[in-house]
Amino acid sequence: MNTKLQILIIVVVALLSYNANAQTNKCATMQHLEKSLVQDPTLKQRMVDSEKATRQWILTHVQSKKANTEVIVIPTVVHVIWNSSVENVSDEQILSQIEVLNNDFRLMNADSLDEQHPFRPFVIDAKIEFCLAQQDPDGSPTTGITRTQTNVVAWGEDNWDNIKSTVNGGKNNWDPTKYLNIYVVNLDGKILGFAAFPDELASKPDLDGTVIRYEAFGTNGTAGTGEFSLNNKGRTGTHEIGHWLNLKHIWGDSTCGDDLINDTEKAEEANYGNPTFPHRANNTCGSGTNGEMFMNYMDYVDDSCMFMFTSGQADRMRASLNGPRSGLLTSIGCKLPTALNEVNILNAATVYPNPNSGKFTLYINLKNITLVNASLINMFGATVKEFGVISKEISTIDITDVSTGAYYLRLSNSTTSTIKKVFITK
């Protein structure tokens, strides 16, 4: 083989592998939808009807640009399904994902487009937030996190539904009309995650939720490990929850396809990696000189390269929250159970920092309440430590000898008791 031929082969192999990479399906939401369409013959028509309702709602509301648009807080539960202990991601990692969601959906992300960028006028605060649930569907206090050890080593496509099935090695979702269920699992292959669309809820409530692989979840711990180093900023969560709130991919899942949004440029296909603006200027779908909006959360670029939702996308998400997902608007999942919330001790007490390494400051405003007894209880309700009567407004609590995890600090006096969630991370 001569040298020129060797070089040609190397170049061709490189091109082939690039193409293979370019066609990598990072998100399996459309595959999930295709399965649902096969299983439920009524889904297609429901999606058509729902699309009309979505457009009508947007026409009559156009909420996202109004200054007085109310923030919607979505009660969220994170189900960690783990086989190898590395997959049992820490509370700290879970909190990092919630923080990313609250930044991205509220336009608090530090990497947003600068004011001069041509796409900046389309960037929007979607006014959607996420809280880790404070009470479970039975009304019991919860950290908003469940942990399930499983015999399933990795979840392949044939097994996806079982992630949400307790009897099959996964975990049943919490009432999907009242909670966003996020599953953290070890997915087979290279898929980063997938979600169920709002219209799937009516026929398959038990399959609702979003699934994220543990290496692409949050911003610390296992985030970005192994071959997923470019998925280290929690944007798989932002992307999948975008689907869960009825957003399609920016390229409409076909060449120059329609994502049903007016203010996202039409894209020829998915974008990968870290493109430079303008990318695909004057593309074949008729984009202008600014090219494609590859930095949108609903594209396939690296985590560090995606940082915006548009007004049209925010309206569409809010339409779903006033349509198929409207049950979330009346969910009390973010509130402490009533029995624990009777008196204002909770409002008078603050733990900081939280999460902490086991040493934290407890501030109690003792002006308006009688002396308080404090104890630490674990997730199963067992008392781990007694602190006795707290007589100072500011106390330093040292529980560095307890293991990492979520606990409740129970505060009580002669008339009532309440709890504060404390996260210990080391």
Q: Summarize as ranges the residues that interact with Zn ion (CB under 5 A).
A: 27, 29
Query: Is residue 240 among the annotated active site residues?
Result: yes
> Closer to Zn ion at the Cβ: 29 or 181?
29
| Residue 398 in tokens | 């040292």
| Bridge partners, 211 (sequence order) | 183, 194
Helix (H, G, I), strand (E, B) or coil at 275: coil
User: Residue 118 CA to chain centroid, in angstroms?
Assistant: 28
Least separation in angstroms between CB 116 and Zn ion: 29
- d(CA 304, CA 324) in angstroms, rounded, equals 32
Least separation in angstroms between CB 249 and Zn ion: 5
> Closer to Zn ion at the Cβ: 100 or 399?
100
- d(CA 126, CA 241) in angstroms, rounded, equals 13
> Closer to Zn ion at the Cβ: 132 or 306?
306
Element (H, E) at 185: strand 180-185
- d(CA 148, CA 117) in angstroms, rounded, equals 45
> Closer to Zn ion at the Cβ: 82 or 183?
183
- d(CA 84, CA 183) in angstroms, rounded, equals 16
Q: Please give the biggest Cα pair distance in the chain.
A: 90
- d(CA 120, CA 333) in angstroms, rounded, equals 35
Least separation in angstroms between CB 72 and Zn ion: 22
> Closer to Zn ion at the Cβ: 150 or 238?
238
> Closer to Zn ion at the Cβ: 27 or 340?
27
Least separation in angstroms between CB 382 and Zn ion: 41
Helix (H, G, I), strand (E, B) or coil at 2: coil
Least separation in angstroms between CB 38 and Zn ion: 19
Residues 222 and 190: beta-carbon distance below 8 Å: no
Residue linked to tokens 């994902």: 97
Task: Return the C-alpha torsion angle 207, 309, 290, 279, nearest 10.
Answer: -50
Angle at 86 between CA 23 and CA 149, to 5 degrees: 100
> Burial, 343: exposed, middle or buried (Cβ in 10 Å; 0-12, 13-18, 19+)?
middle
Least separation in angstroms between CB 272 and Zn ion: 13
Helix (H, G, I), strand (E, B) or coil at 423: strand
Least separation in angstroms between CB 300 and Zn ion: 8
* Catalytic hit among 200, 215, 240, 292: 240
Helix residue spans in 64-151 (DSSP H): 91-104
Task: HSE, CB side, 13 Å, CA atoms: give it for residue 182.
Answer: 33
Residues 268 and 251: beta-carbon distance below 8 Å: yes
> Closer to Zn ion at the Cβ: 307 or 408?
307
The beta strand positions in 203-254, using DSSP E, are 210-213
User: Shortest Cβ contact with Zn ion: which residue?
Assistant: 27
Least separation in angstroms between CB 164 and Zn ion: 18
> Closer to Zn ion at the Cβ: 207 or 372?
207
- Which one, of 109, 121, 100, lies nearest residue 240 by Cα? 100
Q: Which residues are catalytically annotated?
A: 240
